[in-house]
């Protein structure tokens, strides 16, 4: 009789442990409680490599034809369509680059001079936001392997007469900083206004 009670007790403990584990797993997979904390954990990103329009958060004031700034370099026109401050402490800058020249444009000098950035290939890894008021320069955010949170151009650049959409994410300047200069490669700096996301 003691053996039967002991086995019954072990079986009960095992059932309770399994049930508790299943309940914790199900509650951990829940969709959130709607308080908005999930936005801060993963900033929205987009790239020229596929993602649809749903991959990027758009502000109500942003439209495809909106132009915050446009600068021209050697055979290339850089257009900035938006600069949005996200809830997680980031600024996402996006726009379009157009090749107006007579040959394939290679974005190699946009990746920056740092050794770590060379692994990003033709990208906006070397872009920066300059806060003249606060006297600070904000570099493109990177992951733990040194990959930038920015567009990497397919094929290394843009073909003649073609355009490519791009984005780059930066740490957000202080809330009272509304205007910054966007710089990349040998392009002239572009003064842009940051909107709230």
Q: Which residue has the tokens 């997979």?
A: 29
Structure confidence at residue 138 as a pLDDT band (50, 70, 90): very high
Class of 62-196 in CATH: mainly beta
Token pair for residue 11? 């079986």
pLDDT per residue as tens digits for the range 27-57: 444 444 444 443 333 343 333 333 333 333 3
Backbone angles phi, psi at 69, to 5 degrees: -160, 155
Mean pLDDT within 174-186: 92
What confidence score (pLDDT) does residue 42 get? 38
Mean pLDDT within 115-137: 86
Q: Which residue has the tokens 């132009």?
A: 67
For 139-146, the CB contacts below 8 A with 24+ separation are 139/170, 140/168, 140/169, 140/170, 141/90, 141/169, 141/170, 141/171, 142/116, 146/116, 146/117, 146/119, 146/120
Q: Kindly report whether the global pTM for this prediction surpasses the value 0.75.
A: no
pLDDT per residue as tens digits for the range 19-33: 444 444 434 444 444
Chain centroid, CA 104 distance in Å: 26
Taking the domains of the chain in order of start, what are their residue ranges?
A: 62-196
- Of 196, 197, 190, nearest to 70 by C-alpha is 190
Mean pLDDT within 99-115: 84
- Of 137, 134, 140, 139, nearest to 177 by C-alpha is 134
31-55 in b/e form (b: 16+ CB < 10 A) is eeeeeeeeeeeebbbbbbeeeeeee
Give the residue with greater pLDDT, 10 vs 22: 10
- Of 93, 87, 159, nearest to 122 by C-alpha is 159
Give the residue with greater pLDDT, 12 vs 152: 152
What confidence score (pLDDT) does residue 4 get? 53
């Amino acid at each position: 009789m003691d053996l039967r009670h002991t086995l019954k007790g072990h079986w009960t403990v095992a059932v309770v442990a399994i049930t508790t584990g299943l309940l914790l797993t199900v509650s951990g997979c829940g969709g959130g409680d709607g308080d908005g904390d999930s936005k801060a954990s993963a900033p929205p990103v987009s790239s020229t490599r596929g993602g649809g329009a749903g991959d990027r958060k758009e502000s109500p004031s942003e439209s495809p034809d909106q132009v915050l700034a446009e600068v021209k370099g050697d055979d290339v026109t850089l257009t900035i369509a938006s600069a949005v401050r996200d809830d997680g402490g980031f600024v996402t800058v996006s726009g379009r680059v157009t090749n107006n020249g007579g040959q394939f444009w290679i974005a190699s000098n946009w990746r920056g001079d740092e050794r770590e950035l060379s692994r990003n290939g033709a990208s906006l890894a070397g872009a920066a936001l300059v806060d003249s008021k606060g006297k600070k320069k904000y570099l493109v955010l990177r992951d733990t392997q040194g990959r930038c949170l920015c567009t990497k151009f397919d094929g290394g650049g843009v073909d003649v007469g073609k355009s490519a959409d791009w984005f780059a994410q930066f740490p957000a300047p202080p809330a009272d900083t509304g205007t910054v200069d966007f710089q990349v490669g040998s392009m002239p700096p572009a003064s842009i206004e940051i909107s709230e996301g």
